[in-house]
Amino acid sequence: MRFIDEYRAPELLRGQLEKIRAFGSRASFMEVCGTHTMAISRAGLRPLLSGSVELVSGPGCPVCVTSEADIGRAVALAGLEDVTLATFGDMMRVPGPQGTLSEASSRGAAVKVVYSPLEALRMASEETDRKVVFLGVGFETTAPAVAASLMRAKRDGVYNYFVLSLHKLVPPALRALLNMEDFAIDGFLLPGHVSAVLGARAYSFLADEYGLPGVVAGFEAADILRAVCLLLEMRERGEPAIANEYARAVREDGNPKAREIMEEVFEPADAEWRGLGVIPASGLALREEYRSHDAGSWGVEAPEAAGDKGCRCGDVLCGRIKPMDCPLFARACTPESPVGPCMVSTEGTCASYYLYDFREGELFAR
């Protein structure tokens, strides 16, 4: 199959690994996409690259970076008598100050899992006696679709459709990481899905301002290994730049139409990230023209965040530690009984390590 089989050929993967090992020097690169994290772990690339390249997972999972306080707001909204909260399924088990959305549902809250914001919009048009709130979580990948649903609601007069916008923007988070005193990375493996919207050019500041290379990569093992090769080549030459390995899906200027839709509905706003704190202009708020659909403006009371209870998801998201360094990992915190969001999400770093990157005997010998 075109674009699949040729990226899985064993001889291609062996050749790329040999090329990486031939560089000799050790480097550390961060992937900032949860899909990359899971793909790297599933393909067993971390041990294969051990001794040559360390791949460090960053804040690339939108579920994981959603703050505990924002989860509390969502649970509080779901508890209102005339509200139906619509959400993607991976948000259901993320703990907040009042528990999870799944637990709120068991207490009688109207929480519905949907696959698209347009499904939530249709729900609102059919249930006119209720307020339907879509929980807007995601990066630049999902924000255009949410914006399109708001444009359609305004056009069709669906006044009972609302969005709680918890969207996050990737470039400001990269700046926040690079401005951390203890952050030491030699380059970035840049996200494929987000870049399909933003374009590779959006990351030029990494090379221009911080002197670090970045490569936009696809999600096959061959894509990732090729991206690592490009990062090593740029590092060895001392010529940092932004390369686009995923040219079959990502253009230099991305998707202008998707950005136009997103920018018509949303404007940048300060946002709280788990592990990174409040980052200026790193979130998306509804513009004045769409404020009547903004569930974030409702005066709901949510309890203060209770703290992480020993969970070190924030440190994992910043690349400070590996999941196995958290005292709860695979003990109190498992995919069946998660304590933090990094173990909940299908793109979470802890979930990927739990499934593919550790053996129980090795963990408990630490």
Q: What is the CATH number of the domain that holds 188?
A: 3.40.50.11750
Query: How open is the CA angle 198-201-147, to the nearest 5 degrees?
Result: 15
C-alpha distances (whole Å) from 137 to each of 30, 117, 168, 177, 266 are 22, 11, 8, 21, 14
In a domain, 283, yes or no: yes
Q: How many independent structural domains does the chain possess?
A: 3
- Alpha-carbon span 181 to 186, nearest angstrom: 15
Ranges in the chain, pLDDT < 50: 1, 361, 364-366
Q: Range of 329's domain?
A: 313-357
In a domain, 114, yes or no: yes
68 and 104 co-located in one domain: yes
In a domain, 319, yes or no: yes
Give the pLDDT confidence of 102-118 residue by residue, as tens digits.
999 999 999 999 999 99
269 and 133 co-located in one domain: yes
90 and 191 co-located in one domain: no
110 and 140 co-located in one domain: yes
108 and 217 co-located in one domain: no
In a domain, 363, yes or no: no
In a domain, 211, yes or no: yes
Query: Other C-beta atoms within 10 Å of 137: how many?
Result: 25
69 and 159 co-located in one domain: yes
In a domain, 307, yes or no: no
Which CATH number does the domain housing residue 262 bear?
A: 3.40.50.11740
162 and 67 co-located in one domain: yes
158 and 234 co-located in one domain: no
In a domain, 89, yes or no: yes
12 and 127 co-located in one domain: no
163 and 29 co-located in one domain: no
| Contacts for 266 with CB less than 8 Å, ≥ 6 apart | 143, 147, 165, 167, 284, 285, 286, 287
Phi first, then psi, for residue 295 (nearest 5°) are -70, -15
Residue 307: per-residue pLDDT? 62
52 and 138 co-located in one domain: no
In a domain, 305, yes or no: no
162 and 70 co-located in one domain: yes
Residue 361: per-residue pLDDT? 44
Q: Taking the model in full, what pTM does it have?
A: 0.92
Give the pLDDT confidence of 229-270 residue by residue, as tens digits.
999 999 999 999 999 999 999 999 999 999 999 999 999 999
Residue 358: per-residue pLDDT? 75
